[in-house]
Structure 1
Amino acid sequence: MSAHRFKLVMLLCVALGAVPAIANDLESAQNQFRTGKYKAAEAVAFAAVESGIWNERWPRLLIQCQLEQGKYAEALQTYDTAIRRYPTSMTLRLLGLEAIRFNNLSERSEEERKRFFQLLQSSPLRFASRDSLIAAGRYFVDEGEDARQVLEMFYDRVRDSNPDFLEAYIATAELALEKGDYKVAAETLAEAERIDDTDPRTSYLKARAFESSDAKVTAAALQQALELNPNHIPSLLMLAELALDRELYDDAKSSIAQVLKINPSEPDAWALQSVIAHLEGDPKREQEMRRKALSTWHENPRVDYLIGSKLSQKYRFAEGAAYQRRALEFDPDYHAANFQLAQDLLRLGNDDKGWTLAKSVAEDDPYNVVAHNLLTLHDRIKDFSILEAGDIHVRMDPEEADVYGEAVLELLTEARATLCEKYDVQPDAPIMVEIFPEQKDFAIRTFGLPGGAGYLGVCFGRVITANSPASQGERPHNWKSVLWHEFCHVVTLEKTKNRMPRWLSEGISVYEERMRNPTWGESMTPQYREMILNESLTPVSKLSSAFLSPPSALHLQFAYYESSLVIEFLIEKHGIESLKMALVSLGDGLSIDDALTRSVGSLDRLDVEFATYAREKAEAFAPDADWSREELPTETTTTELAKWVDEHPENYWGLRSLAEAWITEKQDEKALPLLEKIVELGAVTPERDGPLELLADVYQRLGRAKREREIREQVLAISSDALPSYRRLIEIATEQNEWQQVLEYSEQMLAIQPLQPFGYQHMATAAEQLKRPEKEVRPLKTLLQMDPIDPAALNFRLARAGFETGDTALAKRHVLAALEDAPRYRDAHRLLLEIVESER
């Protein structure tokens, strides 16, 4: 058929109403594109465009196919032809702008952006199509305009008039994700799934929305996206990023290779290759990969932004900041790079520049949720106290600083002296420690968003953020253990120039906790024993992935313990010098595999020897106990379980399950021998509400104070945060007038929880009874800051203690304060007379 005859036929078809057939062809081609059959969709679209069908969706689809495959020159040619035919199409112009950029036509790109805006000005938006409104919204987002106005004027407007138009939801979710509003993104994507659950973009964006909060949802959504479209480039790139985060570089390279088969010029793929090269210590290849990422668009700011942000995720903040500055050289208004640079500076301890830049981003981009959160936090903490001891600077709530700020400085000073000497490190810049009384503030400072439950502290290098005991409820973790752990990170990150895998960093910190205090850090538990012997041990070379994708909270805790066990093994077998040699090699740019090979030998042998070491540790834990679970009955009555335990009297799981069941049924007499048997078998751990604590509670309820006291002493010997046992031991010792014991227990309790009055009250009373006024002063001063019921009495006691220690100024100040609250306080009047008399 001649071309002339073909056109006549097409015109006739249109005249006779045969458009649905063409529409069906378009829908079929669009579905091919959606499912990753880019070449097939391109062929159909090319034929339609060449045939001259009057429908701008055909050239749009063809350009999309060409852009997706990196055929940037062809995409630009298609655009140049199409835009002459459809000069008012904003959607087409937006695609053309992308094609122009990736043909490295910077001047024309600028002209096209201006032309797009001129078109918007000349075409009243109230008459615009839904496609044009979405395109206009995306244009303004790219221009850095107020995101909330974009939502209101464009995306919301389309959703209100066309509630089933998927593209409006996709655009809204993209914008929400860009601004860190994951809640809005998730809600929008739920609506998008209701409209159409076959578009891979929806699943991919859902994976991004839940990436920082729910690993299981993220994995499922990403899998769904790739089932819908195995060639979906954003999803494949996300797979590569997740593998990179887990230090599974071969897996990351495999996903990147899939992307490059589809689009050999994909800039994000080459940028991620550059990141991997950096992490593998290959600077030459790093720059080569960066050049490839910029080969089609020489001034693409996203390339350096992506490289820098991924390096910052690996705690390479100085290198990350350098890349953000490169991105800003290409585009000074690139908000993502500006804000990432602000966060990098804050994590490098450069607060002045960091906060200034964060404020600038928040003002320019008011919908940036993370920036808004940071600025709100800055307003809340600007009045924090700053305590200093040499190059250690501690920022904390003023009231908390008065209570235990001095103890914080003492601990950090000790950590600096001990750990810096041990690892041959001398930090050459101040170390900032920030302690937050509210968990949400800690999370915002650390992660940018509320959340982060389970994190007690984080170290970025020379900046530590930590939760104070006030943020952790009735039974906080031992703050000294937390700060010792985090300061150890300061030391090892300094030694390696932040170039170390997470497992190694965490392993050393947990190990050093145990070295400082045997009750600190992770230790063997029945669950850990089972995981080691059931082949749940992660190979040393893949330990970092255990931190980033744990199946449960227990698996994450086990990753900390296993990592510390690796360090213990390395030091026992090869010595501390070998470990320090590996850290130096990491700082020189070697990969962890090469660093370990150089310092301890074959990695394969290391994996085998460590597995043997771990199994021996596990088997040595309560070796006489029966640890099998195979025959343990489930969903059975207490009576039936008791019968089974009679037949298996040394089975740990049976003993524990039955003891807990009897306690639930308030049958303490029956639970008692079971818990005693567990202790006899040596299967005791510092876990909260574990067998040892349960046994102490049973003895308490049965009124057997002597045995309760013995067991609670055992709890203290292995637990770093046994506040309930400290409280009870203080009560028991008080009842028996054992004031020296009360004093010691109170001091130990306050080392864990310095923000509750109980410990201070008993410490002051014990010191008074022991006639040790010098020990009364501190607890009485602290109690006065805790909104006491009777401040006059406390002021009088403090005045008397001050007078007895010879501090008449303190004594006079507080006796006058007592009289101010209670003018007829006779004992205070008498004390004041004594003070005045002593000054004559």
Structure 2
Amino acid sequence: LDEALEYDADQLHAHLLLARMSLETGNLNDAEASLDRALRLAEAEDHPPLEIYALKASADLLRGVTDSDWTTRALDMNASYGDIYAIPAHFYVITRRYREAIELLLEAVRIQPDLWAAHAELGVNLLRVNRIAEAMAHLETAYRGDPFSAKIVNTLRLIDSLDNFRDVVRMPEMDEENLGAGMILRLHRDEAEVLVPYVTDLVNDSIRTFSERYGFAPTEPVVVELYPEHDDFAVRTSGLPGIGLLGVTFGYLVAMDSPSGRTDNDFHWGTTLWHEMAHVFTLEATNHLVPRWFSEGVSVYEEWSTGPLPGRHVPMHVLQAVAEDKFLPITDLDSGFIRPTYDGQVMVSYMQAGLICQFIERRWGQSAFVAMLEQYTQGADTATAIEGALGVSPDVFDQGFEAFIVDEFGSVLESLDDWKAQVERGYAAADNADWGAALEAASAAVASVPEYVADGNPYLLKAKAHDELEQPDEAVATLESYWSLGGHDAGALKGLARRLDERGRRADAIDVLDDLLGVVPLDSELHVELGDWLMAEERAPEALREYRAVLALNPYDQAGAHYRLATAYRQLEDAAKTREHLLYALEIAPHYREAQQLLLEIAR
């Protein structure tokens, strides 16, 4: 655009596009300058100024002026110009102020009923606040006017697919404190029976934790939607399939992939949901005025510090970006999310935001997060929020954060090239079955960057090398370190749990498998093994949950699933339920000897 304007400084549409980009990144002064130039050009060319008026009204809106003179001017010129409301609504949407956007879009379609794009946007945003019937009505209207829109068609199909989901309502009991207004779980009917207890527990834990940490209690039920088809989740968030997000929060509504929505072994649905639940609090506590960077930063920080997956997880390409000095000043960090300038910058911005929050907590304490949120609630920008809550200027803050990064990662950054070389050498040695060399290289890599447990980490290679060299205790110790740092490869952790159990450490083995439910809760074998160990430890209430999950997964051995449930109820001294499940087991397998014997025992 800059080059185009250098060639011809009087291109009206270039100035309008530049203004839109400035508005999206919050650079209101630059936007106003572009719009003033565009207005002069429009007057000189006798071009209708309505779009300029709408963008001027958008700038006023972002400054907190909701009754802009530019709106009045536009309506005086054309009383049916719906975009005077629809265009400003866009800037509410990208700053996640969906309720205000809906009000503007309703006004847009009221004065211009054939503004199909506004009906479509209205439908999508009504879905974001769980007003499904109204969303359907506006999307159907949009479809009648624009039947070829992929966004409209996909969203209507998504709404139709909700017939395959179950809404599970969970309201707090009278004696349950700090649970807000409860939750509505919207889960696919094929998975609901299995997932409900695990999702319920995690949502309740997050509400208790964040209510205490942030002094805010949800005033509406939190809606949590889990989609087994990733493209359905993508349509839910943007109207189009194919996006790479794992979860998104619209306020009191969270949508994300279900555990079956991702085929990779690296998807930890538990930490994703914890991240999104933190957004519920930062968004709603500030009436959605919190900037993107701080909301994401708090969510990432809470993943690391209070979530179900222990440890600080910084991807290797982000460490490389730190080494290349690609972190942004605090007042510019939102642009890394909204207008990235290089591949991978959005993830770099996520991690920078999380590390900034870790720096704030270390320097000023967790209460500083609450002070920052209070600043944003009052309409402060980031510079004002930093000064008001932390008592330093943004420049001084940036200097302190830079020193924090050097303290935390200085030695790691110096070792990055060596780490990469050692990992490559280790895996090459493993390919050649040179396990001594593989162990040496993997051990060196672990020592240089010990926090890294993601894909391609050296821990699993090191454990494998120990096993090949007949050093089983060292292999177990390596896998324990990997697990304690948040490593969650399902195969590796199942193996670790069994080896711990063999060593008489059943309680630790149970903890490993329990953590693994955050990755593969639809694994029937995992539930059986965990349930059996819990029963052996006389922890029948927990075992019952696992055995119920087994039955809900419709296993091949239905009789065995019912028998296990019967044993759990027997330990709980529930004779009626014990008998019920034994009879189910014997109905399926009449000669099931263990079931026959247990039925005789309870009949005596």
**TM-score surpassing 0.5?**
yes
SS of the residue 1:396 aligns to = strand
Maintained 8 Å contact 2:467/2:475: yes
After superposition, residues 121-136 of structure 1 pair within 5 angstroms as none
- The Cα of 1:373 is off from its aligned counterpart by 1.6
- Percentage identity across aligned positions? 25
Query: CA 1:366–1:530 in 2, change beyond 3 Å: closer, same or farther?
Result: closer
What do the CA deviations read for 1:464-500 (whole angstroms, capped 9, x no partner)? 1111111111414222211221111111111221112
Matching residue of 2:349: 559
Maintained 8 Å contact 1:321/1:341: yes
Maintained 8 Å contact 1:280/1:589: no
> What letter is aligned with 1:801?
A
Maintained 8 Å contact 1:524/1:618: no
Matching residue of 1:807: 574
Query: CA 1:789–1:700 in 2, change beyond 3 Å: closer, same or farther?
Result: farther
> What letter is aligned with 1:470?
S
Maintained 8 Å contact 1:388/1:409: no
Matching residue of 1:290: 71
Matching residue of 2:175: none
> Counterparts of 1:375 and 1:617 in 2: how far apart (Å)?
48
Query: CA 1:432–1:617 in 2, change beyond 3 Å: closer, same or farther?
Result: same
> Counterparts of 2:593 and 2:445 in 1: how far apart (Å)?
58
The correspondence for 1:276, drawn from 54, 59, 76, is 59
Matching residue of 2:23: 244
Maintained 8 Å contact 1:393/1:431: yes
Q: Are 2:394 and 1:603 equivalent residues in the alignment?
A: yes
> What letter is aligned with 1:318?
R
Structure 2: gaps spanning 5 or more residues: 172-180
Relative to the length of structure 2, the TM-score reads 0.88
Structure 1: gaps spanning 5 or more residues: 1-221, 630-650
SS of the residue 2:224 aligns to = strand
Matching residue of 2:332: 542
Matching residue of 1:591: 381
Matching residue of 1:433: 224
> Counterparts of 1:667 and 1:231 in 2: how far apart (Å)?
68
> What letter is aligned with 2:128?
R
Maintained 8 Å contact 2:570/2:578: yes
> Counterparts of 2:60 and 2:264 in 1: how far apart (Å)?
47
Matching residue of 2:185: 394
> Counterparts of 2:450 and 2:534 in 1: how far apart (Å)?
38
Q: Are 2:273 and 1:490 equivalent residues in the alignment?
A: no
> What letter is aligned with 1:661?
A
Matching residue of 1:661: 428
> Counterparts of 2:230 and 2:430 in 1: how far apart (Å)?
34
What do the CA deviations read for 1:258-285 (whole angstroms, capped 9, x no partner)? 433421463323322322332233446x
Maintained 8 Å contact 2:451/2:485: no
> What letter is aligned with 2:457?
G
Matching residue of 1:375: 156
Query: CA 1:695–1:434 in 2, change beyond 3 Å: closer, same or farther?
Result: same
The correspondence for 1:698, drawn from 465, 470, 479, is 465
The correspondence for 1:506, drawn from 293, 296, 299, is 296
The correspondence for 1:326, drawn from 97, 102, 107, is 107
> Counterparts of 1:428 and 1:420 in 2: how far apart (Å)?
11
Matching residue of 2:243: 452
- The Cα of 1:540 is off from its aligned counterpart by 0.7
Matching residue of 2:176: none
SS of the residue 1:263 aligns to = helix
Maintained 8 Å contact 1:247/1:542: no
Maintained 8 Å contact 1:411/1:484: yes
The correspondence for 2:546, drawn from 774, 779, 794, is 779
What do the CA deviations read for 1:808-833 (whole angstroms, capped 9, x no partner)? 22222222222222233344333333
> Counterparts of 1:403 and 1:724 in 2: how far apart (Å)?
21
Query: CA 1:288–1:787 in 2, change beyond 3 Å: closer, same or farther?
Result: same
Deviating 4+ runs (over 6 angstroms): 222-230
The correspondence for 1:818, drawn from 577, 585, 592, is 585
The correspondence for 1:766, drawn from 519, 533, 540, is 533
Matching residue of 1:349: 130
> What letter is aligned with 1:613?
F
SS of the residue 2:248 aligns to = strand
Matching residue of 1:366: 147
> What letter is aligned with 1:814?
H
Matching residue of 2:596: 829
SS of the residue 1:752 aligns to = coil
Maintained 8 Å contact 2:270/2:308: no
Q: Which has the larger radius of gyration?
A: 1
- The Cα of 1:773 is off from its aligned counterpart by 4.9
- The Cα of 1:315 is off from its aligned counterpart by 0.8
SS of the residue 1:464 aligns to = strand
> What letter is aligned with 2:582?
V
- The Cα of 1:701 is off from its aligned counterpart by 4.2
> Counterparts of 1:833 and 1:379 in 2: how far apart (Å)?
50
What do the CA deviations read for 1:410-459 (whole angstroms, capped 9, x no partner)? 22122222212322223332321111111111111111111112x11101
> Counterparts of 2:56 and 2:31 in 1: how far apart (Å)?
9
- The Cα of 1:230 is off from its aligned counterpart by 6.4
- The Cα of 1:522 is off from its aligned counterpart by 4.9
- The Cα of 1:236 is off from its aligned counterpart by 4.1
> Counterparts of 2:69 and 2:375 in 1: how far apart (Å)?
24
Query: CA 1:467–1:361 in 2, change beyond 3 Å: closer, same or farther?
Result: same
> What letter is aligned with 2:354?
S
Maintained 8 Å contact 2:586/2:596: yes
> Counterparts of 1:486 and 1:717 in 2: how far apart (Å)?
23
Query: CA 1:257–1:715 in 2, change beyond 3 Å: closer, same or farther?
Result: farther
Worse overlay, 709-718 or 307-316? 307-316
After superposition, residues 14-413 of structure 1 pair within 5 angstroms as 231-264=10-43, 266-283=49-66, 287-294=68-75, 296-363=77-144, 365-390=146-171, 391=181, 392-413=183-204
Matching residue of 1:468: 258
Of structures 1 and 2, the one scoring higher in RCO (CA 8 A, sep 6+) is: 2
Matching residue of 2:524: 757
Query: CA 1:307–1:738 in 2, change beyond 3 Å: closer, same or farther?
Result: same
Maintained 8 Å contact 1:777/1:801: yes
Equivalenced residues, count? 589
Maintained 8 Å contact 2:311/2:486: no
What do the CA deviations read for 1:517-541 (whole angstroms, capped 9, x no partner)? 4845754465444433432110111
- The Cα of 1:228 is off from its aligned counterpart by 9.0
Relative to the length of structure 1, the TM-score reads 0.65
> Counterparts of 1:611 and 1:832 in 2: how far apart (Å)?
68
Maintained 8 Å contact 2:313/2:451: no
- The Cα of 1:322 is off from its aligned counterpart by 1.7
> Counterparts of 1:413 and 1:775 in 2: how far apart (Å)?
17
What do the CA deviations read for 1:372-417 (whole angstroms, capped 9, x no partner)? 2222112222242222333221111234221131221222122222
